[in-house]
Amino acid sequence: MGSDGPMKPFFGVGGTSTNRQDAMTTVRIQMAVLCSVFTLLGCHQSMMQTQPNQALGVAVQPVRNESGWGGFEGDRATDAVVERLARGGSLFVPPADRVRAALADLGLDRARTPAELDRLADALGVQCVLTVSTTSFDPYPPFVVGLEGVLHERRGEQANPHDPVRTDASPVDPGARPAAALQAFRAGRVFDAQDADTASDAKTWARSRVGHNAPLREMDSYFRYAVDRLLEALMASKPNAGM
């Protein structure tokens, strides 16, 4: 889906969204991702010295629909999350169809265990895997979107078959290294437009992007508002002590 042209509604209802995302919020989210990854990996200096042109990677798993709404289009919702993270070019975010293909190659519909998450990260050449779920969903005004997100990041140095500094052409043997060590960031919220604070926040979000309160009238726009706020909360959250 393009970021500059009109967006088709992807939940079966609602008007066409023409909103543009605020560039400063994009930079804030991406810089938060970069800082959190550098901190957890503990390799800021070495990466800046040895791989200055290699962008940090975040793979977005297919959005999981746990809301019970049958008209929810998970593929397009996933594309929206990927587009939001990828905007600006500071992060390497594999296209959603590439993530789905990698999962299929691994015989998975979604990576859940530390070993599966590590294998998926290896297959895509990324350091992080993001999983987003919809917990509630009402596509009719006043809108309701419940989202939960978990960002899994690798701890320490991990062998990577896509690492450009590798000189050994042999594939990485998963059994030849310790089990995956991952750090998890978690965030979640129900964005209910009936709530006065949420409605006010959505209007503020819209004014900085499109100049009107489109999120309260268009589900596409409201979903992107919810995704923005989830990512901001996710990157600001403290890591849990394990999976």
Flag whether pLDDT at 67 surpasses 50.
Answer: yes
Question: Average pLDDT of 94-99?
Answer: 96
Per-residue pLDDT reduced to its tens digit, 16-56: 444 444 444 554 555 555 444 444 333 333 333 334 455 67
Residues 6+ apart with CB under 8 A from 50: 165
pLDDT of residue 33: 52
Summarize the chain as % helix, strand, coil (round to 5): 40, 20, 40
Domain boundaries, the chain: 23-159+180-236
Q: Please give the model's pTM, rounded to 2 decimal places.
A: 0.70
Question: Average pLDDT of 210-232?
Answer: 86
Residues 6+ apart with CB under 8 A from 191: 143, 144, 145, 146, 147, 198, 202, 222, 225, 226, 229
Pick the CATH number of 23-159+180-236 from 3.40.50.10610, 3.30.300.30, 3.30.70.1060, 1.10.10.10: 3.40.50.10610
- Least confident segment among 24-28, 54-58, 74-78, 91-95: 24-28
Who has greater pLDDT, 243 or 133? 133
